[in-house]
Each structure stands twice: as structure tokens, then as C-alpha cells.
Amino acid sequence: MVRGGSMRRPSLAAVSEFTLSADDYRLMEEVGFGANAVVYRAIFLPANRTIAVKCLHLDRISSNLDDVRKEAQIMKLIDHPNVIKAYCSFVVDHNLWVIMPFMAEGSCLHLMKVAHPDGLEEPVICSILKETLKALAYLHGQGHIHRDVKAGNILVDSPGVVKLGDFGVSACLFDRGDRQRSRNTFVGTPCWMAPEVLQPGTGYNFKADIWSFGITALELAHGHAPFSKYPPMKFFS
């Protein structure tokens, strides 16, 4: 069952209890992956606590190290029950480890693949979308564009709380204090991208997330996003 997030905020002690030593973490099975990162279920040994570790491969990413650090910093500063928060982050060899809560039920995409290939029931969709909108409203209020809203990035924990995650392509519009400044970079997943994101040089803002949110609603209802079964080159043509 999908539930709304509790408004109780985590204490600073709960966040700061995690150490910055790889020896204190035992990586278990892989639970997610992308072009530049792998997510593992892991155990924080001093507390015998199950957490998730996102390992960003620093030598594979096109962004510079400052951008990667910005993502980790964004995740640590986030304080909303419907957005994944990072407990801490540190470098291990050529990887950046980001320590996060473990979302036991996985993503909405995973849930559809294993149990609901033709889409979720309408009441469940409504609940997921409501909580996702809360997350987007918070992020936009903080000046962030998520830029990759989709079922694969909407996660569910054991009690059924919905959280928006994966800030690998997120961007901040307030870097220079200008709420109206737009972005011009081409990032995200094509089927979920707003038209202005697909058009180089036009710029885009928070509204791009709302377009992706709408596509995600269709994805949850049908089990897949519109045109997602076409190869990328056919999609762009």
C-alpha cells in the first residue's frame, strides 16, 4: 500500500551517525544501476543497519567533479518526507559513495514489471502522483529542477512511503539568485522529456518537470511511457 510521507523531520543525530569510512559498510547485492552509477543494498556495520550506497564512477561521468559534489550536497541538504535524502558521502578510490536510505520495495517501474505490467490501479496511481507532486513542489521551491522524473526514479519503502530519488541530472536554478534563469543542457530520458528540452538552445525551467510528471502518469497507468518501445533514433526522428 502506498502511503503519504510523514512530516516528522529526521534529527541531526540520525543523519550524522554515519561514518565516512568504507570499512564501516558492507556492500550486498546490486539493486539498481545507470550509466555512471550502481546502487547497492548495504549494511552499516557499527549499527547493523540496512542502507543503500550509490557508487558514482567518477572516471565515467561527463560532468566535472564540482557538479558531482553539488549533487551529493543537494541530497544532504534536502529535508522532505517524499524526497530521498543522503546521510553522507565520501570518495572511495575512483568512486563517490553516497549513503542513503534503503527503499525496500524498489521503484514504481520495478513494481510494475514484477506485478502490474499493464499499469497500476487508479487509486494507487493517484496516491503516487500526489506524493510525487509534493516532492516536486518542495524541490522547485528550493530552486531545483529534477530533470528525470519517471517511474524508475519514484521509490517506495517497506511502509509504502513514496520518495522521489536519483539526482544524477538535477540542476539548480538559483545558483546566481535568478528565479527566471533557464537551463540549456540536454539531460534526462528522451520519452519523458519536454519539447523545450529536446529543442537545443531554447532553454527550459521548472515546467519541464511537470511535462515529465504527466508522462509518468501515463506510464503508471499503462505500464510504459508513450513511445518508450521505440528505439531512441526513431523517437527523435
Tens digit of each residue's pLDDT (9 = 90 or more) over 65-81: 676 777 677 778 888 99
Predicted local distance difference test score (pLDDT) of residue 176: 33
What CATH number corresponds to the domain at position 201? Answer: 1.10.510.10
- Contact between 84 and 164 (Cβ < 8 Å): yes
Domain membership flag for residue 2: no
Domain that holds residue 183: 106-236
Domain membership of residue 3 (yes or no) is no
Same-domain pairing of 60 and 125: no
Last residue of a domain, one of 100, 125, 155: 100
Of 23, 59, 148, 166, the catalytic one is: 148
Residues 114 and 212 in one domain: yes
Do 50 and 102 touch, CB atoms closer than 8 A? yes
> Are 111 and 93 part of one and the same domain?
no
pLDDT tens track of the chain, all 237 residues? 566 554 444 433 344 589 999 999 999 999 987 777 889 999 999 999 999 998 988 877 666 667 677 767 777 888 899 998 889 988 899 888 989 999 999 999 999 999 999 999 999 999 999 999 999 999 999 888 888 899 999 999 988 899 998 765 444 443 333 334 444 343 446 777 766 666 666 667 788 899 999 999 999 999 998 877 766 656 555
Q: Which helix (H) or strand (E) holds 98?
A: strand 95-100
Residue 5 inside a domain? The answer is no
Which of 56, 53, 40, 41 lies closest to 96 in space, CA to CA?
Answer: 56
Domains of the chain: total: 2
Q: Which three cell numbers stand for residue 80?
A: 522532505
Residue 54 marked in a binding site: yes
Q: Are residues 198 and 129 in the same domain?
A: yes
Which pLDDT tens digit goes with each residue over 150-160? 999 999 998 88
Residue ending a domain, among 65, 100, 135, is: 100
Is 148 catalytic? The answer is yes
